[in-house]
């Protein structure tokens, strides 16, 4: 026989409304009452019907995860982080992949928010960095949190979780410089991502601070993909004066570069050092394993969702958080020959 909210209320000795307030994580409920209701829920193995609650109530308990990113590992980490926060807070998760370059993207997102009655949105790059999308969501008073690249939040209001990509790029480039590399190349990701711009800026900053020349021929445009890493590395390998090290804009690009270099007969890292960014599974699946920059995507997504739900409950959360990626030194970087 299925356990109902009435059974929980009777076992805990409280009203049905009190059980509802506890399961909805509403404020102003005494801790002793919360403990008593949760004990009853656990003992009776009560499973609230979240979908029915969302339809019947005046409030929504569904968080939307909106993304346009080809990296499956990034998406899985983000999804797991959001889902963890949703489970802890009594919310459900709706996942919506989309094309950020679509002419109808603003209409698509606003329509989805209205029809799904979303409690809030977690926006990831490049959607979180598109002013037209933000303007459209503001027009319908949508609740959202942005995950973006940057060192500090801008003047505009709203929840923001920032990733200091520039710091990470400076640190990983400095690692190569400290090893003795002076001719360091950069393989770029998609330029409509702010993370690409910030990582490239960090690479340039590190070279400038160490008074090393910036060779524009060593900066190769590309996309966040393995194939782009292969193509970019082949261009660099074909140069008359091949660089001794490569900073790749993410681990997938770095893995592609490593693959191309080994096909060309180069020893990694003796002939060429290659480093990545994000510390994704790509960095641990290559041989040798990639030196990279650790970016805790799952934790970033969890914090972003917690801020979003806290705002929804009018709990006055902090408006921004900053994550600072740091290098993880493995086997793909070493002192250059000669």
Is 55 domain-assigned? no
Task: Name the burial class of residue 27, with classes exposed (0-12), middle (13-18) and buried (19+) by CB atoms within 10 angstroms of its CB.
Answer: exposed
Q: Is residue 97 part of a domain?
A: yes
**Does residue 53 lie in a domain region?**
no
Per-residue pLDDT tens digits for 1-23: 677 777 878 888 888 778 777 76
Residues 247, 251, 254, 258: what is their CA dihedral angle, to the nearest 10 degrees? 140
Phi, psi (degrees; rounded to nearest 5) at 283: -70, -20
Is residue 153 over pLDDT 80?
no
Q: What is the pLDDT of residues 199-219, one digit of tens each?
A: 999 999 999 999 999 999 999
8 A C-beta contact, residue 15 and residue 9: yes
pLDDT at 109 over 60: yes
Residues 148 and 225 placed together within one structural domain of the fold: no
Domain carrying residue 27: 5-48
- Tell me the helix, strand and coil percentages in the chain, rounded to 5: 45, 15, 40
Q: Are residues 280 and 318 in the same domain?
A: no
Q: Which of 137, 123, 9, 15 is closest to 67 using CA atoms?
A: 123
CATH code of 216's domain: 3.40.50.2300
Residue 57 lies in a domain: no
In this structure, are 244 and 300 located in the same domain? no
In this structure, what is the dihedral angle of CA atoms 213, 218, 224, 228, given to the nearest 10 degrees?
Answer: -170
Crossing angle for the helix pair 297-312 and 72-89, to the nearest 10 degrees: 40
Domain-embedded: residue 329? no
Please give the tally of structural domains in the chain: 3
| 284 shares its domain with 175 | yes
CA distances to 34, 131, 138, 159, 197 from 156, in Å: 37, 11, 12, 10, 20
In terms of Cβ atoms closer than 10 Å to its own Cβ (0-12, 13-18, 19+), residue 324 is: middle
Please tell me the predicted confidence (pLDDT) of residue 50: 52
Would residue 337 count as lying in a domain? no
Residues 270 and 225 in one domain: yes
In-domain check, residue 336: no
pLDDT tens profile 59-106: 678 899 988 887 888 999 999 999 999 988 888 899 988 888 888 999
The band of 155, judged by pLDDT with boundaries at 50, 70 and 90, is: low
> Which residues pair with residue 93 across a beta bridge?
63
């Amino acid at each position: 026989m299925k356990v109902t909210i009435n059974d929980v209320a009777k076992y805990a000795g409280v009203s049905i409304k009190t059980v509802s307030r506890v399961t909805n994580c509403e404020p102003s409920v005494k801790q002793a009452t919360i403990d008593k209701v949760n004990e009853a829920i656990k003992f009776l193995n009560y499973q609230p019907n979240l979908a029915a609650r969302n339809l019947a109530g005046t409030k929504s308990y569904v968080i939307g995860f909106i993304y346009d990113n080809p990296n499956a590992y990034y998406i899985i980490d983000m999804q797991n982080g959001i889902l963890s926060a949703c489970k802890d807070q009594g919310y459900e998760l709706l996942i919506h992949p989309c094309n950020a370059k679509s002419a109808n993207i603003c209409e698509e997102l606003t329509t989805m928010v209205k029809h799904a009655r979303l409690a809030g949105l977690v926006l990831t790059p490049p959607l979180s960095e598109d002013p037209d999308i933000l303007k459209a969501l503001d027009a319908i008073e949508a609740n959202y949190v942005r995950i973006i690249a940057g060192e500090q939040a801008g003047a505009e209001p709203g929840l923001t979780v920032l990733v200091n990509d520039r710091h990470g790029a400076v640190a990983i480039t400095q690692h190569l410089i400290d090893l003795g590399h002076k001719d360091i190349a950069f393989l770029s990701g998609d330029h409509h991502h702010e993370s690409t711009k910030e990582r490239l800026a960090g690479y340039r900053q590190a070279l400038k601070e160490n008074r090393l020349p910036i060779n524009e021929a060593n900066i190769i445009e590309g996309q966040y993909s393995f194939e782009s890493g292969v193509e970019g590395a082949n261009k660099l390998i074909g140069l008359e004066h091949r660089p001794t090290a490569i900073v790749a804009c993410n681990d997938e690009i770095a893995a592609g570069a490593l693959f191309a270099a080994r096909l060309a007969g180069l020893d990694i890292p003796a002939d060429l050092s290659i480093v990545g960014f994000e510390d994704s599974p790509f960095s641990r699946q290559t041989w040798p394993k990639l030196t990279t920059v650790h970016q805790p995507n799952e934790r970033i997504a969890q914090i972003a969702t917690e801020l979003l739900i806290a705002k929804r409950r009018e709990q006055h959360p902090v408006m921004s958080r900053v994550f600072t990626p740091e290098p993880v030194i493995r086997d793909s970087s070493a002192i250059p020959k000669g």
